Amino acid sequence: MDPLPTAHSGPRKKRPRQMGALMSSTPQDVKFRDLVLFILEKKMGTSRRAFLMELARSKGFRVENELSDSVTHIVAENNSGSDVLEWLQVQNIKASSQLEFLDISWLVECMGAGKPVQTTGKHQLVVRRDHPPSSNPGLQNTLPQTAQKISQYACERRTTLNNWNHVFTDALDILAENSEFRENESCCLAFMRASSVLKSLPFTVSSMKDTEGIPCLGDKVKCIIEEIIEDGESSEVKAVLNDERYQSFKLFTSVFGVGLKTSEKWFQMGFRTLSKVRSDKSLKFTRMQKAGFLYYEDLVSSVTKAEAEAVSMLVKEAVRTFLPSALVTLTGGFRRGKKIGHDVDFLITSPEVTEEKEQQLLHQVTNLWEKKGLLLYCDHVESTFEKLKLPSRKVDALDHFQKCFLILKLDHQRVNSDQSSQQEGKTWKAIRVDLVMCPYERRAFALLGWTGSRQFERDLRRYATHERKMMLDNHALYDKAKRIFLKAESEEEIFAHLGLDYIEPWERNA
Ligand code: DCT
Ligand code: MG
């Protein structure tokens, strides 16, 4: 990204008076390091801005005096998203595609909570379709206002974390989840595809006219969008949120090791709370579920980026003890730039390793952690990988690589971050970690598959099958017409084989 020119936050003559209040936070004051705020003075006024900046800093937020590359959230009052964009354009500032534009109500909620609260649609400032962020380099390729057609495939769209349509996608994600709980696959897929395409738009849908020409929006989805535009909410979503089955499934599946089948069983048996499930003597729990209950509080609280980085150090240290040439790559949501996740995913490979050594590595690593008392749960899955097997036809098929699903004990001391997620008296947090080991020549396919998002992967495979007569999965790419496997050393080569423009990991948040 281009370096930002210095932005002036207000009239110069007012500056000296405000200097005391506008001093930047010193690093030790900052509790929440993943967020860097900038509060817009326009329509807010100098003194209110200074007051809010000081208040936020006193609560441990990092607030910048001036807009810089490091800013992640712009907070404004009485401005629309388009107003903020216009302001940025007048200042000749290029907004990064991950910059969030938020209403003051978000900051007020954060101040009340004493920590960052999740940003949702109601906090988000609206950018009009006739005013897309043209100065935004990360979004230019998705601009729809000209002849450029929006693809029905997520792998032909760039989807950053900067979602201008939270208010709709939050609703559609809830409806998709409810359909999944009711095992209504086609409905679930329709809601997921609609949500995914809206996440890729560089503007906020503010009238039904804006939905013209956008694929994957069926009549039902359009009705929901229309209702949200008109009433600010969807009655169907409201009903789902109040639905007993939805609430119970949501609760039960939040336990590690509990899927749809178990949730259905517990629901049919009349259970509605976790405490009742836990204390019931007649129920048998799997080892995974027992761990899920034991570490429930830690596992439901999201993993932060700082924690993921600490786990990354831990994994690299352990893996290299046994295999110095090993390559360890952080995959999953964190590779896509997400600031939180439900687990931390790693891909491990090495250019020089015997099959025997490769098979042993994950076991050696978990044995080491066990000895150190860091292993809270461990489930090894051995490899069933076969070199000549054709890629799977199913878009959601599991891969055949050797892997282990873990819960690690992460010492707070190892985390270079705030105190926010730490409980009084407890010195560690239980973290879900997935390790995947793959043969060196398959690393590009494994990396592409394990980076996600799930919707992006589904659409890549669908695209390969329907548009290219090829088969793609986490192990290989097969050309059906030529009857050959296509080799790849990097993700870029896989996109090239498929005839697709390269999409960066942070643009795969479909
Ligand atoms: N994946 C896969 N095969 C599996 C499980 C996952 O190919 N059996 C892929 C899809 C996404 C990626 O790996 C990571 O999976 P998750 O951790 O479930 O998703 P995430 O995007 O990392 O989300 P979160 O932030 O919640 O962890
Ligand atoms: Mg993950």
Whether residue 252 is found in the same domain as residue 231: no
Out of 432, 454, 473, 475, mutate this one to test ligand 1's pocket (max ligand atoms within 8 Å of CB): namely 454
Tell whether 417 is covered by a domain.
yes
Q: Is 449 in the pocket of ligand 1 (CB under 6 A)?
A: yes
Residue 406 confidence (pLDDT): 98
**H helix and E strand count, the chain:** 19, 14
Mean pLDDT by 10 residues, the chain (510 residues): 40 39 60 92 94 94 91 93 88 77 94 90 84 49 53 97 95 98 97 98 94 96 98 97 98 98 98 98 97 98 96 97 96 96 97 89 98 98 91 84 98 79 81 97 98 97 97 96 97 98 97
Cα distances (Å, whole numbers) of residue 120 to 2, 109, 232, 331, 335: 29, 12, 13, 25, 22
Which protein residue's CA is at the shortest distance from atom 19 of ligand 1?
Answer: 332
Whether 165 is in the pocket of ligand 1, judged by its Cβ within 6 Å, is no
Determine, yes or no, domain membership for 449: no
Task: Supply the pLDDT for residue 27.
Answer: 58
- Please check whether residue 108 lies inside any domain of the structure: yes
Tell me the C-alpha to C-alpha distance, in Å, between residue 20 and each of 53, 61, 159: 11, 17, 41
Say if 461 falls within a structural domain: yes
Looking up tokens 């110069």 gives: 12
Instruction: Please classify residue 495 by burial: count the beta carbons closer than 10 Å to its beta carbon, then call 0-12 exposed, 13-18 middle and 19+ buried.
Output: middle
| Ligand 1 atom with the shortest distance to the CA of 332 | 22
pLDDT value of position 420: 53
Same domain, 342 and 436: yes
With respect to residue 11, please indicate whether it lies within any of the assigned structural domains.
Answer: no
Extract the tokens encoding 291. Answer: 């761990």
Known binding-site residue numbers:
343, 345, 434
Domain boundary among 261, 294, 327: 294
**pTM of the full structure:** 0.82
What tokens were used for 390?
């054709």
Name the DSSP class of 335. Answer: H
List residues forming the annotated binding site for Mg(2+): 343, 345, 434
State the catalytic residues.
343, 345, 434
My answer on whether 290 and 310 are in the same domain is no
Ligand lying closest to the C-alpha of residue 452: 1
Ligand nearest the Cα atom of residue 453: 1
Domain that holds residue 170: 154-241
Number of structural domains (the chain) is: 5
Asked if residues 57 and 29 have their Cβ atoms less than 8 Å apart, the reply is yes
Separation of 337 CA from ligand 1 center, angstroms?
14
CA of 453 to the centre of ligand 1 (A): 7
User: Is 64 near ligand 1, meaning CB less than 6 Å away?
Assistant: no
CA of 259 to the centre of ligand 2 (A): 17
Q: Map residue 317 onto helix, strand or coil.
A: helix
pLDDT of residue 1: 40
Q: Could you tell me if 377 and 319 lie in one domain? A: yes
> Do 433 and 308 belong together in one domain?
yes
